[in-house]
């Protein structure tokens, strides 16, 4: 498993670390922001998709997990659609996560 340093910037610039028991032990149950950082960059343009595709191919990734709120959910959907059209093997998933309470489930 790899973590991208600085969030999307790490994907775009191919800056990652391999996640190991040793380097994650101090961060267990404390989120990933402190270990990897984050960015507010979005995955929306053809260039963003191309850079992400290049990184996924270089690492031979079976899956890519994006973690975030409404913008990240949109990015994941758009990127997954792009990967399907380009026949990229990397499966794109998204884990909903927010500090702004801008995504939620409402009981019906």
The string of pLDDT tens digits covering residues 92-108 is: 999 888 877 777 667 65
- Report pLDDT digits (tens) over 14-48: 999 999 999 888 888 876 567 787 777 788 899 99
Strand 16-18 and strand 63-68: pairing?
Answer: unpaired
The tokens for 51 are 């850079």
pLDDT-above-70 percentage for the chain:
94
Strand 63-68 and strand 2-4: pairing?
Answer: unpaired
DSSP labels for 26-42? GGTTS-SHHHH------
- Torsions phi, psi for 79 (to 5 deg): -65, -40
Residues marked as catalytic: 100
DSSP reduced 3-state for 40 = coil
């Amino acid at each position: 498993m790899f973590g991208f340093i600085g969030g999307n910037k790490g994907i775009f610039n191919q800056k990652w670390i391999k996640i190991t028991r040793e380097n994650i032990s101090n961060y267990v149950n404390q989120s990933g922001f402190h270990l990897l950082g984050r960015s507010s960059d979005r995955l929306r343009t053809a260039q963003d998709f191309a850079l992400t595709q290049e990184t996924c191919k270089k690492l031979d990734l079976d899956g890519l997990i994006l973690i975030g709120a409404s913008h990240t959910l949109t990015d994941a959907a758009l990127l997954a659609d792009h990967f399907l059209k380009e026949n990229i093997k990397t499966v794109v998933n998204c884990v909903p996560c927010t500090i702004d309470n801008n995504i939620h489930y409402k009981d019906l």
